[in-house]
Amino acid sequence: MRTTSLLLPPAMRLLLFPLLWQTCSVLATVFDLSTLDWTLINQNGSIAIPARIPSQAHLDLERAGIITEPLLGINDFTERWVWMDNWTYTADLAPILSGGIKGVDQVLLQFHGLDTIANITVADQPVAWVNNQFRQYVFDVSFLRSVTSGNLTVAFESAYWYGLNVSTGPDSELIIGDTFEVPAGRTYVRKVDSDFGWDWGPAFVPSGIFKPAYLIALSNATTSQQPVFLSETAVDIYKVGQNFSVPANEKADWVVNVTLAVHSAALFPHASVTLSIDELHLTSHALAIPSIPVTAEGAPKWVTVLWHIADDIPERWYPHNLGTPKLYNLTISLSVTPTGPAAVTSTLRTGFRTIKLAQLPYSATDIAERHITPGDQWHFEINGKAFYSLGTNIIPFDPFYARTTTEQVRWVLESAKMSGQNMLRVWGGGIYQPDSEDTGVYDFYSLCDELGILAWSEFIFSDSLYPINDFLLETIEQEVRQNVRRVNRHPSLAQWAGGNEIEGIVIGVNQSMANGTVYLDQFVSLFQDFLKDITVSETHSVPYTDCSTTHGVLSLDPYVLRFSNGTAGHIYGNSERYNYDASQAFNYSTYPVSRFVNEFGFHSMPSFFSWEEVLLSPEDFSFNSTVVSSRDHHPPAGSLAFPNPNAPQGQAQMTEAVELWLPTPGTPDANQTFAQWCWSTQVFQSMNMMAEIAWYRRGAGQGENNLGALVWQLNDIWQGVSWSSIEYSGRWKVLQYGITTTFSPVMIYPFWTPDNATLEVLVTSDRWEPVSGSAQLTWYNWLGKELSTSKHEFTVPSLNNSLISKSVGLGAVLPKGQKAEEVWMLLNVTAEVDNKTVTNEQYFTPVSLAQAPLVDPEIHLSVSQNLTFTLSARGGVAPWTWLDHPAGTIGIFVDASTGLPFNGFYLVPGIERTVKFVLNENLSTNTSPDPNDFVIRSLWNNTHAA
């Protein structure tokens, strides 16, 4: 059992609880309930096994050998019985009650997360019924002072049965929206939406004590224990006068707003808070706070202090590609007596920045002088300057939150940074991401702060219309307040959005249903008014918008949504794009002309190595095998039907894409053919997304002034068909390397319009200052013979692009005397950015690679120390040359000269490529891979044995 007494020296307290202060201060004796012996029992008692917390029932059942790893084979089907049962966690409190809380005055029980519907009983006394996975709970269990034995019991009800019951009652409202797999009325359950299934993941509907839990003992006798406990600490840093509708005055003083939720076992009429930042040699005076009373029933006393700091004293936090993500240690000292020492002194990391979501109309000057298409702005500004948002979307890292680790998350976030991303969207159908292992199992926001990645964050509402009733609104209010307060201190926080893809649903319902206005009114009530009002009451520093994919606003003050009230020819809000007709993959006329595109993607297979982690029989290793197809949830089943009856449609979309644009895989080796199919779907996915990214970035210099492109999606929740660029294990897909090239600060790209045979080559920059450099365009045939080359000097204005070449008609585009299928172009750019040389490389083929007369590239590989590989082609050109690292390894390939991620390239005879594999030893189970186990593939191998 871990206990912490305030009689320990401050350094020791911080050692024991290095992060717990953020929401759970150490001003008390704190018992970590994970150290107790827990038991998990099902409803009829036929299963009783040892358990842990934080955990979820599936994880404990697996550890006990009752079930196998849920992600194996078709266990998402065979283990459905788990989420149809009710599960109870029980622990004997004797190790604490036998002596740990004698002489105390107040005892609190704190849960940082319960998943989801549960009755809580302590020593046979009912404490609470809870129904919200996203809330922290604090209960007064002071009756334990007179108890010497008893159990802590958390009895979970199946969220499936609960959802069915409350959504089908006589007073329940017809809910309009998507059922992905489990028809359980998910909108009535404050639980991770994707737990019920999504089109990229399984439905396990887990339950359990999935975040840490603590027992806290308070005493008004300061000789042994301290009388004060903080259940929440909120820090909001903003400019004087700044709020939701008033943008920051960048020269105004900073306001450091600290709010504490204080639980106390004694009356303190003369308390104060002192704030300091050692790096800046700054300390506030003692900031008086109201009298702290004896608190009861688990309800805290809220106190707030404000500290002003001159604008020019701290350095500002920036995304990593625009500056330094500067962080400071803010020390908060709470004193409960006028002259005595601080009752608690603890430190957290934060930063100074302003973040704005520009949503108001473009000015007449912008329209006239910058040639901006009329309408509203929709982009972010950091520290007063507009920038291009480059990034992806985050989904839950695992179907079972409790087993996620900070190291796994760090790798995904570091991968985002290495690929040039400066923004991640925390999708509104998943989980509120945590910022501490002691309170949330793993860390997310602190890593974003450190790495310089902005986090667009959303409340957990997705792809459905939501019922409005007082019962739900009460718990939603507490959920939203707690999470806004918790995340406020993180400079990486970019905004709060009300939910995901809901505005479009309600507009359609309002237009198509006779009673559609009812649903529109409810949407306005929840997303325009209720959530917005809560958010802006808790934060001055970050913006709010009603929904991802929105038409924007008519007004910020008062906050009024635009919906369909627009002017033809004007541009409003942001957009998304999904088009599964592969023949239109590179048709620019199908791409949205938008201020910001926050979702776009195409699905692909995971690698052969990922399939090896979950497939159990040799016959499963086939593109359309029953098990492989069962893990394609696109389009979703919409019911409990298994395997997904709609999977053939999703499989066909990937098949058709490969057949249209790449050589169709087929070799004498079945496993190689399967591996090439998996990889080829990734190649197409990368080609498609690179084209879209390039198009949207091009829009920064067009009338739409596009300033954002967020790919769907970054990470995987399991080994299956998905839109991800990183596989479940952390292995990079082809797309992740493609993102690296198209998110380069300076990018060259060939825009090809086959209808009129027009080729435009543009150089695009996301820099705030003009960038100059040179580009080279070189035509080759497939034997690798250089046919022609041209060089071009350029200067790209701030956040813009420059046209360096335009040709119309095949005769002008192609090298003289060449056929379109026989040639391809290598595009290179070199520029100076921030006193560093930046290079970028792209490829152009006038026709589909399925038509290219590829020849055996005869790839030769030499290996040197530290897993460095030099590749050369001795036959013909090897398009999309790809290196795979062996099973059990996590890491990336980098260009040996630049150190930048590099894989999936055209290997040309006479041009050697040297890459190094950088191993992540923390995540790899094989930390000394044999170079002979690395695999080389190219499109030639689609139809020829390796």
Catalytic residues: 501
Query: Strand locations in 123-188, DSSP E?
Result: 125-130, 137-140, 151-157
Using DSSP's 3-state secondary structure scheme, residue 526 falls into helix
Q: What sign does the dihedral 419-869-932-662 (CA atoms) show? A: positive
Which pair of tokens denotes residue 199?
């089109």
The helices-and-strands tally (H runs, E runs) of the chain is: 20, 47
Q: State the Rg of the chain over Cα.
A: 29
- List of residues 6+ apart from 891 with CB closer than 8 A: 885, 917, 918, 919, 920, 924
DSSP for 865-891, written as a single string:
TTTEEEEEESSS-EEEEEEEPPTT--E
Using DSSP's 3-state secondary structure scheme, residue 103 falls into coil
Q: Please, is 84 exposed, middle or buried when counting C-beta atoms within 10 Å of its C-beta (0-12, 13-18, 19+)? A: exposed
Residue type, 683: V
CA 648 to the chain's CA centroid:
29
The DSSP call for residue 797 is P
Q: Are 88 and 156 in contact (CB under 8 A)?
A: yes
**Strand 151-157 to 117-122 pairing:** antiparallel
Residue type, 572: Y
Residue type, 341: P
- List of residues 6+ apart from 785 with CB closer than 8 A: none
Using DSSP's 3-state secondary structure scheme, residue 702 falls into coil
Compute φ and ψ for 471, nearest 5 degrees: -60, -45
Distances (CA, A) of 630 to 72, 199, 203: 12, 12, 12
Distances (CA, A) of 543 to 240, 378, 431, 488: 16, 12, 20, 11
Q: Are 288 and 319 in contact (CB under 8 A)?
A: no
Q: Please, is 183 exposed, middle or buried when counting C-beta atoms within 10 Å of its C-beta (0-12, 13-18, 19+)? A: middle
Q: What is the dihedral of CA 907, 910, 911, 912, to 10 degrees?
A: 90
Compute φ and ψ for 348, nearest 5 degrees: -135, 160
The DSSP call for residue 524 is I
- List of residues 6+ apart from 818 with CB closer than 8 A: 779, 781, 787
Q: Are 320 and 422 in contact (CB under 8 A)?
A: yes
Q: How far apart are the first and last CA of the chain?
A: 57
DSSP for 227-263, written as a single string:
SEEEEEEEEEEEETT--SSS---TTSPEEEEEEEEEE
